[in-house]
Chains A and B, each alone.
Chain A
Amino acid sequence: MTFNILIVGVGGQGVLLASRVFGEAAMSEGHEVAMSEVHGMAQRGGSVSAVVRFGRGTISPLIPKAGADLILGFEPVETYRALQYANENTMIVTDVQKIIPITVTAGSESYPEVEKLITAMRDAGFSVLPLEATRLAEKAGSKLTVNSVLIGAVSALKGFPLSEESLRSALIASVPEKAKKINEQAFDLGREAVKL
């Protein structure tokens, strides 16, 4: 068995940090882990994605098309862009907060309605869980805790194979001392949002 996570978002949002939390949690539960991440150019506000795979006999750092078991989107357009990696059983969790790319600001392209993106995903038969993650992060005390909200949300998903405890402790270990408290709060807000 292999579980494949694809995390997508925009450079600077904490996609890489989130992927590391999943990787560390999987390792702590005794899984084999293979991961891949993007460096360099893509960190400057471009599209970013990271792959986390765990289970038995997993060695390749990338996943095939339609091969994701979970797509965790930090930004709705980026989530939609990643759909080719989803199948009908893929869990899709996405923040609904838009981040407008420079191509739109400069007027050469346009940004679709977030509502429309969510509806189109549902119409195609995907199970998608839209979250107001950025808003919850603000509620926790800082917009910068979006990734903790999202990881918390994933920890509450039915059928997600890693435990709440290992995700929580991997997350807390990855943030600086003074930010531990608000990140834990953000994690809890994410969890609650899913349970509702």
Chain B
Amino acid sequence: MSKERLNLVPQGTKALMLANEAIARACLEAGVAVAATYPGTPSSEIGGYLESMSKHTGMYFEYSINEKVALEVGAAAAVSGLRSFVFFKHVGLNVASDPFMSLGYVGVRKGMVVLSADDPSMHSSQNEQDSRFYARLAGVPMIEPATPAEAKEMVHVGFEISEKLETPVLLRTSTRVNHARGIVELRALPNISRKGHFEKDPFRFVPVPAVARKGRIRQLECMKSALAISEESPLNFEIGDGSVGIIASGVAYTYAKEFIEDACILKLGFTWPLPEYKVKKFLRRFDRVIVFEELAPLVEEHVQRMAREEGCQTQVLGKLSGHLPMAFEYTPDTVLALREQISVKNMKKTPKFESIPLPTRPPVLCAGCPHRATFYAVKKALNGREAIFSTDIGCYTLGLNPPLNSADFLLCMGSSVGAAGGFAESTDQKVIAFIGDSTLFHSGIPGIINAVFNKHHFLLVVLDNGTTAMTGHQPHPGTGRSSPSPTTPVDIEMMLKGLGVHNIGTVDPYDLSATIQAIKTALDTDEFSAIISRRPCPLALMRRGKLERKAFIIDKSKCVRCRTCFTKFTCPALSWDGIDVSIISELCIGCGCCAQVCPKRAIEVSK
């Protein structure tokens, strides 16, 4: 469904929505007045929907510079009497964890829901940490949907709980919820007021030690009330009857419900605090209880403790007992691991088939991607000399693969710059840090200041493609594209100057020889230097209808079949049939880089 149509559909309509779309719609229905994010898969699309829908509803929506700032924006709104929604991926909660830990102390005045999207199996992440620990750590209630329809309803419930308890609520999703599509029912859209009013109360909202001590007590009381709500909550319910008990949460519940037979399932949607009384009562009824949850054995540990406290002999099976896997996401086949214990729905079998070795198909930098050209130029400039490539989070991380081999170290958003400083101090090797424009703003800046201040000597290459490409082309402060009206773009060169960087060069990576020359010069200076390699992401231009394509072809009479273009530059628009290299016209965007790479000048614009 088109984004514009989405907010006009009347109440009661059923729509087939991606959970992320349904969550965005629920925010409008719930009268959210302020929403903020930093894009991160699997949560990214929520922002796209909110951005376009907010134009029609008066909601304030922003792409913040990072998750910490997003959370701070949302918290300010919620203490000023406006409902707010803040969302990001699981690792974003690490960045936002600092304010999040204190927010449970001071609380909010109007509803605030924080969504953290976990990524079991790491489809697009650097780790698969479990956000649920944060609920416990921060002392805030947490709810977990299993399907798109539940995700939508839980946004509403989340706001109700948040307002009842005056505390933020954590909504924990996972990839297979965020990127699942299902049928949801739409509610009416209320009128919202965009402006709240902050009543001062420094002895609640300014947690100096004396105030924070009160806040700590407030937070503990709040969790006691949350427990009472959890015990009564319809989000925790029983379904089916059978001889085995199953306690399931999140998308894992859907696999248990569909593929396990003869079982009674206690489905937990309100998972922190756990409904102790309900779980204990459930435990007493069964000889064997299986806990079915993704990632950490969080519920399982508590269930084991409760069984002990109850003195019941119930056997608790799950990850800790070794019956279910600790790592990676669950699938319907995960239930097969329990075959000895329970009856699993008769699953079909695949006939034996010949195992033919199939080539793998990793994601690659797009045809005409300016990052490929920059990496190529860096290699050329190094001319065989070794260097450590400290890389960061974004499309350009894909430069890891051969033949570019342009990534040696990575931890998290912004880590390239800080780590490069570390490498510069701890080795005698040349050090080059790569960072995208969006990531630079997100968390690269402190590393730069550190490098200038501590005189770390390395080359910073800013891969400026004018957008946050990996997650779907969201804006950032350097783009000036802001909602609802444009702002003055932050000038990266001026910013670096302001931070004390003296050696700054700007290049167009499509001009390979100039780029190689600039990098050579920068590598020869003996202080911290920065090169801004600037060229808009062709995919973003294409989506906005602004890409001017030129068709390139290979002149077979000039080509000596050395395959330099093909093996060294490896644009996916170049193909080789065993004899000739050719250009796939539908993929080529006409950047002209391969033409510069070819030693025989055999590649040219087709007339």
Contact = CB atoms under 8 A, between A and B. Distances in A.
A62 B572 contact: no
A81 interface: yes
Interface in B139-171: 146-147
A109 B363 contact: no
Nearest to B332: A64
Contacts, number: 191
A84 B348 CA distance: 11
B258 A36 contact: no
Given A40-B124, A64-B332, A87 B182 contact: no
A33 B124 contact: no
Contacts of A121: 353
A159 interface: no
B572 A36 contact: no
Contacts of A102: 361-362, 364, 401, 570, 572
B258 A40 contact: no
B501 to A, nearest CB: 31
A43 B123 CA distance: 11
B398 interface: yes
Interface in B382-401: 395, 398, 401
Contacts of B183: 27, 32-33
A100 B570 CA distance: 12
Nearest to A124: B353
Interface residues of B, number: 61
Contact of A124 (B18, B124, B177, B351): B351
Contacts of B351: 86-88, 124-126
A9 to B, nearest CB: 10
Interface string B69-89: 000000000000000000000
**Size bracket of the A interface:** 35 or more
B5 to A, nearest CB: 11
B572 A61 contact: no
B488 interface: no
B332 A10 contact: no
Contact of B366 (A44, A77, A108): A44
Contacts of A108: 402
Given A33-B181, A36-B181, A38-B123, 9 more contacts: A35-B182, A40-B123, A44-B398, A45-B363, A60-B254, A61-B176, A62-B332, A85-B350, A101-B359
22 contacts: A34-B147, A35-B180, A38-B123, A40-B42, A40-B44, A42-B123, A58-B258, A59-B257, A60-B259, A61-B176, A64-B332, A83-B350, A83-B353, A102-B401, A105-B576, A106-B402, A112-B356, A112-B358, A116-B356, A120-B356, A123-B353, A125-B351
Interface of B: 14, 16, 18, 41-42, 44-45, 123-124, 146-147, 176-177, 179-183, 251, 254-255, 257-259, 331-333, 347-354, 356-366, 395, 398, 401-403, 470-471, 566-567, 570, 572, 574-576, 586
